[in-house]
Structure 1
């Protein structure tokens, strides 16, 4: 049913904006949340679930390949590639809502040439278990902690999140500054996403924007596959860790009839709010990208993540 709705909306020219709203809010089962495909597939993320993928690295017996691990009694699908480098953090990639770790396989493969890089499916995503009940930012953060403990050993980490994965990373970092030494937010969901939508598409609105707003707010309220409730809140400081905030440059939200320009302004405002995370935050624009920056301009995403990892290594 979700795919049928998606295809029908595509015909009236608002597909791209719908993808943004669904994916930033935890995408309700839309397999096609991104129009881009990854030629590398799961192999690029470190191989399939073969015998080779189950092998551990010699360094600290850390997992390599794609493997399901136990976190709090639930199965979480994890992919790790690359070898730990002395003095450098482990890079942990977080996908957007409605996506799984295979979406990040391309940049994971590139980054793993010089660093250890891991990604995972949150509960309700990809090959991980479905959540046992409603989730909050705090409970999904506990799963992230469990993943970090098993994939990074005692090493520090840099979190690089796209869309909803960016919001989760940004909410997590201030409470875990002992482990999180850098952040990269790729078109991260606004810290005031609920209010932004309610303001820009008011109750008096008509047309496709209404359905778009209502479905998105429902997903933000825990109705998506992750059952994750995302509430608005102030941006808390994570100290002076390096933070790169990257926003899209192609204003695709403008395709929403009547309300598009306001949505674009609100989105930019949300990206600027994330700068309060650190004294060392920087905002940049991926000029040729829509929402999926790591697919549209992978070199931009890779450069930002390597920059933050380098800064984190220097301390």
Structure 2
């Protein structure tokens, strides 16, 4: 009985010892199959690279317009259909040659060629490529360099590189999945199988019929990826079951999801994992050089330290108030930080700007610049509780009404009684402003909606419904990643570069700080629950209104234009001015962040304000009242522009 148990244990548990040369031989042949399959597919699907095809280079090359001239010339050369075809023919020949037996040094050159040519062809086949091509590229390059080197230490370092990349790919994939609710509750498998791109009707029906086993299977995949490095514990005791499970996972992906190249591509990393996870005392790996592992651990420790330091510095920058900024404590105990530029003339209107969800008050930079340059209107920009330097102190569960109350308190506390107020809100900030206007009553002269949210959008808009399903997972992933210190790996997004120069660093510091995303996640949960409870019509608001819609928003979803028209209709009444218009060429964000479009928004706001002020001034004159002209501000316009953000 003991001998049987020992035999079973040795069969299913323990390391998978392979020698250095055998690990290289198996890996290069598996990646050769991947490259051969890939190039044969591209050769037989020429229509995809012809004019009008999925990868028409005359269109795809536009994505590299910002690259250097030598890079563009190289890409254009590769993008030429004849060059593309010639490269694939050469890749087919090299791949077929690598399938033959032998250990000659020319195999290293063939591997390097396959790896580099795959990288060069990636922009050419941008749409339709998948992770298998990227995996093959780095495995082939590493295997080729190992073949070309005569130093065992260099070869071991390259094998360790592939093995560590394998562990990282599974580990990151698993922990990212863990942030998504569908994987945690086990419903992800059913959701994937019902999609058109990667789904499988038969397996989808099985997951519907047997939900409990489907849940266990989803959790098993999650555990496999999150715990893949356990293959290295106790001399590789768990290497066999871990690699066998991973192999079964890739075969299933290939069959059910149509990702056939994934099988050979990802399995090509496993021989390196087997070689590096075996105990060094095993004869098959005798003399293995493990300095690469120690060097990587040291670099990782340094990286974690640097990332922690950068995160702390970024948090300080993100929460640092603007010079001359002010603080107001609301009824909920929240501390709102705001900047103001207010004329000394009591009759001059004040515009209070409210941001969208996961947005910063620096987003209004171009608009406030326009207002400062061409008017003396007062401007207040503020960060909602939890954003930027503002702090949420309330211990009650968060609701949208809390943000509405905060805005009401800000207007009451920061704007002198009797001064006309306009609420300007982008996205969710528009909906918060609409509700605050209803509570503030006569204190609000007008509401300006910038591609605003509508409380019925999650019910009426198919696009909003679809994006809502993905938004929560995205927020969880980014919030968790930033809390783990990965903010140091973020690259400044395009919209940050498009903002006025003096606010870019502050905007990016907030974007790369987990605090912004936690606040956004809190707001999204409250917004989703609130919007799903909405029914009926929007209540009437006794104030003028300007509703500006982004063209790309309403082009993608005409229902949004109808809802934006309803926002304006809620303000209609005798003596009130209501305008609805579309900002051509703008999307939801660029209407703020693009200099030209933001300036256009600012111009339209000015035209609206002057029309309203003229209209109300005439009404006051007719009633025997008078309204002074707004004049005089503190400081220069350059300083005012900064304070207004």
TM norm. shorter chain > 0.5: yes
> Hey, what does 1:21 align to over in structure 2?
none
Identify the residue that residue 122 of structure 1 maps to in structure 2.
384
Is residue 182 of structure 1 aligned with residue 446 of structure 2? Answer: yes
Aligned to 1:171: 435
Query: Which of 232, 248, 272 is the matching residue for 2:550?
Result: 248
Structure 1 residues 77 and 223, CA gap change in structure 2 (3 angstroms): closer
Query: Which shifted more, 156-165 or 296-305?
Result: 296-305
Which digits, 9 at most, give the CA deviation of each residue in 1:49-87, with x for residues without a partner?
Answer: 44xx1xxxxxxxxxxxx2222222321111112424442
* Counterpart for residue 558 of structure 2: 265
Any idea what SS the aligned residue of 2:435 has? helix
Unpaired runs of 5+ residues, structure 1, are 6-41, 54-65, 203-207, 255-260
- The 1:268/1:298 distance shift into structure 2, 3 A limit, reads same
In proportion to residue count, which structure has more strand?
A: 1
Counterpart Cα distance in 1 of 2:395 and 2:372: 33
User: Could you give the per-residue CA deviations for residues 249-276 of structure 1, whole angstroms, max 9, x where no partner exists?
Assistant: 135x87xxxxxx5xx1222222122122
**1-structure distance, mates of 2:474, 2:349:** 35
Higher helix share goes to which structure? Answer: 2
* Aligned mate of 1:301, from 601, 624, 637: 601
- Between Structure 1 and Structure 2, whose CA radius of gyration is higher? 2
The C-alpha deviation readout for 1:72-108, integer Å capped at 9, x for no partner, is 2321111112424442211101110111212223322
Residues 49, 172 of structure 1: alpha-carbon distance in 2 compared, 3 angstrom cutoff? closer
Which string of whole-angstrom CA distances, capped at 9 and with x for unpartnered residues, describes residues 188-220 of structure 1? 0123122034x5577xxxxx86842665999xx
**SS of aligned partner of 1:176:** helix
Aligned to 2:389, what secondary structure does the other structure show?
coil
Q: Distance in 2 between matches of 1:97 and 1:267?
A: 18
Q: Whole-Å Cα distance in 1 between the matches of residues 464 and 604 of structure 2?
A: 33
1:274/1:217 CA distance change after superposition, 3 Å: farther
Alignment match, 1:278? 571
Q: Is the 8 A contact 1:157 1:182 kept in 2?
A: yes
| CA shift for structure 1 position 179 | 0.7
Structure 1 residue 191 corresponds to structure 2 residue 455? yes
Aligned to 1:107, which of 358, 367, 370?
Answer: 367
How far the C-alpha of 1:282 sits from its partner, in A, is 1.6
Q: 1:306: how far off?
A: 1.9
Deviation at 1:125, TM superposition (A): 2.0
Matches of 1:101 and 1:49, distance apart in 2:
11
Normalization by structure 1: what TM-score? 0.66
Cα gap change, 1:82/1:153 in structure 2, threshold over 3 Å: closer, same or farther? closer
Cα distance in 1, alignment partners of residues 467 and 384 from structure 2: 29
2:385 counterpart of 1:157: no
Alignment gaps of 5+ in structure 2: 1-171, 178-316, 477-518, 617-645
Inter-partner Cα distance in structure 2 for 1:216 and 1:276:
34
Q: RMSD between aligned alpha carbons?
A: 3.2
CA distance in 2 between counterparts of 1:209 and 1:178 reads 37
Match status 1:145 vs 2:408:
yes
Residue 356 of structure 2, aligned match among 83, 88, 96? 96
**CA deviation vs aligned residue, 1:9-61 (integer Å, no higher than 9, x gap):** xxxxxxxxxxxxxxxxxxxxxxxxxxxxxxxxx9xxxx9644xx1xxxxxxxx
CA contact (8 A) 2:367 2:598 kept: yes
Give the equivalent residue in structure 1 for 2:180. Answer: none
Task: Give the match's secondary structure for 2:599.
Answer: helix
In structure 1, the partner of 2:254 is none
Query: Normalised by the size of structure 2, how large is the TM-score?
Result: 0.34
**Looking at both structures, which has the greater relative contact order when contacts are Cα pairs under 8 Å and sequence separation is at least 6?**
1
Give distance in 1, aligned partners of 2:463 and 2:363: 30
Q: For residue 398 of structure 2, what is the aligned residue in structure 1?
A: 135
Contact 2:398–2:522 under 8 Å retained in 1: no
Task: Name the structure 2 match of 1:38.
Answer: none
Between the aligned partners of 1:177 and 1:161, the Cα distance in structure 2 is 17
2:522 is paired with a residue of what secondary structure? coil
Query: Which whole-Å deviations, capped at 9, do the CAs of 1:159-201 have from their partners, x for residues lacking one?
Result: 111110111112222232211101110100123122034x557
Out of 61, 67, 82, the residue aligned to residue 326 of structure 2 is 67
Compared with structure 1, are the counterparts of its residues 201 and 141 closer, same or farther at alpha carbon in structure 2 (3 Å cutoff)?
A: closer
Cα distance in 1 between the residues matched to 2:446 and 2:404: 16
Q: 1:288 to 1:85 in 2, by over 3 A?
A: farther
Pick one of 538, 541, 564 that aligns with 1:238.
Answer: 541
